[in-house]
């Protein structure tokens, strides 16, 4: 049985679990993105098991159908929107996952907020360049945090905002006042949300109805002093409109951990936009998360080999 472990960018997957317990299996670790669909197919054609790291590599139906040896697909986490589930189902290929480890995205989101508010990257670069106190930061106390999406992560964001003595408002297309009341935040309409948020943090699931939910019209409603944070999914935000808003000073700053295309291409508009803090989708990239995920991956493969699937994801 040949097993492909994909997108091990930091070259740590092998050390995060006891892969030798998969007796009779040959395991190959891939450290670079596989790129085009053609390259994915040519590289993975001999493998019976594919282990995907979240949604780093896309597996549309055409790719899945071109992998004749594939017998099991494993993803870290319990959902993967980059994999065509009907294509797996049509071929009888099971999809298994791993338990979600920790909501480390919340920690990163607050790190990005604080980095922007206090101009930490700018101040560090300035200090290393020989200057002292080159700009002025802003306090979060008394400001309004707008949480776009009040799910598990959005709820934790809202509750932590109270420790900074921030007002919290929330909006999503399906948010009810009852749900917001449970979290003790104020549900507002779309116009109020974008126009009153001093810090807007995106925490929605990507779907046909949420794609591009932060576009040029929404950005035009925001304060010139506002900050926008996206640690959810890149396509939720119109990145070209965001870059344009930053260039003309319509926003004070933006921080992103996710992008419409990953890894981010060299000519991505946000790379040249001013007042940005950009990270390479590291919201879940921690030792604690990886040491929970990779042993679970091994359990998934062992279960498949034993004829008893574990953590099977419905197709």
pLDDT in tens, 33-70: 999 999 999 999 999 999 999 999 999 999 999 999 99
Q: In angstroms, rounded to a whole number, what is the distance separating the alpha carbons of residues 35 and 18?
A: 28
Q: In angstroms, rounded to a whole number, what is the distance separating the alpha carbons of residues 174 and 155?
A: 15
Q: In which band, very low, low, confident or very high, does the pLDDT at 149 lie, cut at 50, 70 and 90?
A: very high
As a whole number, mean pLDDT of residues 108-128 equals: 97
Instruction: Name the CATH topology of 2-101+287-305.
Output: Rossmann fold (3.40.50)
Domain 2-101+287-305 identical in fold to domain 104-278: yes
As a whole number, mean pLDDT of residues 160-176 equals: 97
* Count of residues in the chain: 315
Nearest CA to 95 out of 108, 110, 85 is that of 85
| Mean of all residue pLDDT scores within the chain | 96
Phi first, then psi: what are they for 167, rounded to 5°? -80, 140
Q: What is the pLDDT of residue 251?
A: 97
pLDDT of residue 102 exceeding 80: no
Any idea which residues carry the catalytic annotation? Answer: 233, 262, 281
Give helix then strand counts, H and E, for the chain: 11, 12
Q: In angstroms, rounded to a whole number, what is the distance separating the alpha carbons of residues 131 and 194?
A: 36
Please provide the DSSP assignment of 134-171 as one string. -S-----TT-EEEEE--SHHHHHHHHHHGGGT-EEEEE
- Is the separation of the CB atoms in 263 and 280 below 8 Å? yes
Provide the 3-class DSSP secondary structure of residue 16. helix
Q: What are the tokens at 286? A: 């921690």
Q: What is the pLDDT of residue 101?
A: 66
Q: What is the pLDDT of residue 103?
A: 78
CATH superfamily of 104-278: NAD(P)-binding Rossmann-like Domain (3.40.50.720)
Phi first, then psi: what are they for 49, rounded to 5°? -125, 130
**What are the sequence ranges of the domains in the chain?**
2-101+287-305, 104-278
Q: In which band, very low, low, confident or very high, does the pLDDT at 156 lie, cut at 50, 70 and 90?
A: very high
């Amino acid at each position: 049985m040949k097993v492909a472990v994909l997108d091990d960018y930091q070259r740590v997957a092998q050390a995060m679990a006891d892969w030798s317990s998969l007796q009779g299996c040959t395991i190959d670790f891939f450290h670079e993105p596989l790129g085009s669909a053609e390259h994915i197919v040519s590289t993975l054609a001999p493998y019976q098991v594919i282990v995907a790291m979240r949604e780093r590599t896309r597996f549309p139906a055409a790719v899945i159908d071109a992998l004749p040896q594939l017998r099991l697909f494993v993803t870290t986490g319990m959902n993967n929107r980059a994999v065509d589930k009907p294509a797996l189902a049509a071929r009888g290929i099971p999809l298994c996952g791993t338990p979600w480890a920790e909501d480390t995205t919340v920690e990163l989101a607050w790190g990005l907020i604080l980095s922007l508010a206090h101009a930490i990257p700018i101040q560090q670069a300035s200090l290393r360049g020989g200057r002292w106190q080159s700009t002025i930061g802003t306090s979060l106390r008394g400001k309004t945090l707008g949480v776009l999406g009040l799910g598990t992560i959005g709820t934790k964001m809202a509750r932590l905002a109270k420790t900074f003595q921030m007002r919290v408002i929330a909006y999503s297309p399906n948010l009810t006042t009852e749900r917001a009341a449970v979290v003790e935040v104020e549900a507002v309409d779309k116009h109020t949300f974008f126009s009153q948020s001093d810090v807007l943090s995106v925490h929605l699931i990507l779907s046909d109805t949420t794609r591009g939910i932060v576009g040029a019209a929404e950005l035009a409603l925001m304060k010139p002093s506002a900050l926008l944070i996206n640690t959810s999914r890149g396509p939720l935000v119109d990145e070209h409109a965001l870059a344009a808003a930053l260039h003309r000073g319509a926003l004070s700053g933006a921080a992103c951990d996710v992008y419409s295309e990953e890894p981010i291409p060299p000519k991505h508009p946000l790379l040249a936009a001013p007042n940005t803090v950009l990270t390479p989708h590291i919201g879940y990239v921690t030792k604690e998360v990886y040491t929970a995920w990779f042993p679970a991956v091994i359990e998934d493969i062992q279960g498949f080999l034993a004829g008893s699937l574990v953590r099977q994801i419905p197709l």
